[in-house]
Amino acid sequence: MVTEIVPAATRRAPNRNRPAKPLKKRPTPYTLALTLAVLLPLTFLAVFFFVPVFNLLSRGFGGESGADWGGLLTVLTRPRTWRLVRNTIGQALVGTAITTALGIPIAYLLYRTRFPGQAVVRALVMVPFVLPTVVVGVAFRSLLRPGGLLAPGGLLGGLNLDQSFAAVLLALIFFNLSVVVRTVGGLWQRLDPRQEQAARALGASPFRAFCTVTIPALLPAIAAGAALVALFSATAFGVVLVLGGTGYGTVETEIYQRVTVFLDLRGAAVLSILQLVVVAIALTVSQHARARSERAVAVARAENAAHRWQLSNRFDLVSALVTTVTVGLLIVAPLLSLVIRSLQDGTGAWTLANYRALNTATTGGLIVPVTTALAMSLRTAAIATALALPIGFLLALVLSRRPRSRSGRRAISGFDAFVMLPLGVSAVTVGFGFLITFTRPWFGLDLRTSGLLIPVAQAVVAIPLVVRTLLPVLRAVDPRQRQAAATLGASPLRVLRDVDLPLILRPLGTALGFAFAVSLGEFGATSFLARPDAPTLPVVIFRLLSRPGQANFGMALAAAVLLGLLTALVMAAVERLSGTSLFGG
């Protein structure tokens, strides 16, 4: 028998009263991957969104010298300030009310009935939303300028809508109509028709059944669509700047004027704070309405009750009339006018001179040709998309998780609202924040001279759209599939590759298209950051509109057609490659 002798110095008497030390849990690969997926996007948003917005707020409240409430009160007590606030809120409320009223019957026709050519009408309704705001403004300006349908001497020239609230309102309806149609129609086509049929069987008239059964079921979707329209209308910078002119302005256009014309950064910062308040209210209502809409769709077990359109049906007839007038006058007419007038000179003769002039820098007082600005737009949009797509994907991946604990679900909900803040904050505010923040090199890199400042700002604007495109698909993935793959030994990256990626490849293509199209036509932030020798195409279009003369206006029309056509081609290519319908088909 061999006995091992242990030195007394190394022997320890057992202490039965001492609690055992808990084993330290090492972070799992899943935890590390999830942490990295949270930290990378948050770092990007913190540096390029929250820091510029914070600097903007601090400039409004006094800047480096401390709080100066006197300067803040000076701006807030000006009658002009509150007139601009009333204009901003007024255009949001009136535009939302009219757009919602027109969108409901159109949603009924496109999603509750069937008729020949339905896909074409859907595309016509959905296309305006992806067009750049500058293109929308130029399209309606072509109707209001001499020779246009709404100009003096035109068919409806007696209305005198040039540089008026009505002109801005028409463009807002054009731009936002698809939001209401798609939001309401998406829910309407899944409503169970038996509830309305039961009300009819109990003696209710068609109108009463519609008001007491269908409308209450659609209220969450109507509220969600209306809240989004109000948000987009309150931040419609490019449309107001092009169509409002000097006769009509909002808080956003005043911020632009304060910075670029009067060099009043302090006053612009105070107005940006007001804009943030207005947008925050609209974003809060939108988030609440969207959450209610998602819950309503989740519990619905509805059938597609679309029926063949009938002339004898009053609802079918009224919806067809509203759709024909709205689509014809508010969508088709501006787009046709834009194309036709770009092919005419000041006398109405057909010519390609406006397009030939795009390759020269001498016409219109431009430093660079329009074609050079187009190349700049394509380059910045590509960089912005390359930034927005992976960051938006990581954010959507984290937001799609379904924690079992209540605190975890609340954390995900709060993180969702946190990520959506760039969607609520105006692009003008983002651009102005960049302008006053990145005045010096960061870590040895001067973003202003490197050409990265504009793509980064456009990526900040595009990230929420990428998240909203991918999130519904990721949330639809059954979590048991991920758990089963992890149980079988798959790493987090392999789970992502084998479970999630096959389902979101097509939505990724859609998100790529939206990010590229939004970046290509972005004007609010870019208008503050573009250098005279390196402008983007939307900035050049606005500069041409700002200069007098038929030649400049003709070039602006041709450039707007080029930008709109390029945006439409990008979206059509993405739709074809991804195999999904971007227009609600």
Residue whose pair of structure tokens reads 């397009």 in the numeric block = 355
302, pLDDT greater than 50: no
Q: Using an 8 Å Cβ cutoff, are 523 and 132 in contact?
A: yes
Amino acid at 65: S
Task: Give a yes or no: residue 222 inside a domain.
Answer: yes
Q: What is the mean pLDDT of residues 249-272?
A: 82
Burial class (CB in 10 A: 0-12, 13-18, 19+), 48: buried
579, pLDDT greater than 90: no
Helix or strand holding residue 351 (H, E): none
Q: What's the total number of domains in the chain?
A: 2
For the chain, what is the mean pLDDT? Answer: 79
User: pLDDT: is 147 or 370 the higher one?
Assistant: 370
Same domain, 45 and 75: no
Task: Give a yes or no: residue 193 inside a domain.
Answer: yes
Same domain, 41 and 93: no
Q: Give the CATH number of the domain where residue 374 resides.
A: 1.10.3720.10
pLDDT tens digit string along 397-452?
A: 888 877 777 887 787 777 777 777 787 677 888 888 888 888 776 656 666 667 78
Same domain, 412 and 304: no
Same domain, 370 and 331: no
Task: Give a yes or no: residue 19 inside a domain.
Answer: no
Alpha-carbon distance of 424 to 218, in angstroms, equals 24
Q: Token pair of 191, please?
A: 């409503």
Q: Using an 8 Å Cβ cutoff, are 300 and 192 in contact?
A: yes
Same domain, 282 and 388: no
pLDDT at residue 177, as a whole number: 92
Same domain, 46 and 192: no
Most confident of 335-344, 434-443, 489-498: 335-344
The confidence band for 469, taking pLDDT boundaries of 50, 70 and 90, is confident
Same domain, 238 and 124: yes
Q: What is the DSSP string of 17-62?
A: TSPPPPPPPPPPHHHHHHHHHHHHHHHHHIIIIIHHHHHHHHHHTT
Same domain, 520 and 375: yes
pLDDT tens digit string along 214-239?
A: 888 888 888 878 888 888 888 888 88
% the chain with pLDDT above 90: 14
pLDDT at residue 316, as a whole number: 87
Q: What is the mean pLDDT of residues 211-215?
A: 82
Most confident of 58-62, 211-215, 560-564: 560-564
Task: Give a yes or no: residue 180 inside a domain.
Answer: yes
Q: What is the mean pLDDT of residues 83-92?
A: 88
The confidence band for 102, taking pLDDT boundaries of 50, 70 and 90, is very high
Most confident of 96-100, 199-203, 401-405: 96-100
Same domain, 219 and 360: no
Helix 370-399 and helix 550-578: axis angle, to 10°?
Answer: 40
Same domain, 223 and 185: yes
pLDDT at residue 292, as a whole number: 57
Q: Which domain holds residue 274?
A: 69-341
Close Cβ partners of 446 (under 8 Å, ≥ 6 residues apart)? 440
Q: Provide the whole-model pTM.
A: 0.79
288, pLDDT greater than 80: no
Same domain, 40 and 130: no
Q: Using an 8 Å Cβ cutoff, are 385 and 515 in contact?
A: yes
Same domain, 368 and 454: yes
Max Cα–Cα distance, the chain, nearest Å: 119
1, pLDDT greater than 50: no
User: pLDDT: is 379 or 3 the higher one?
Assistant: 379
Question: Which of residues 341, 361, 386 is at a domain's end?
Answer: 341
Task: Give a yes or no: residue 16 inside a domain.
Answer: no
Q: Token pair of 76, please?
A: 């807030």
Q: Poorest-confidence range of 158-167, 241-250, 333-342?
A: 158-167
pLDDT at residue 26, as a whole number: 53
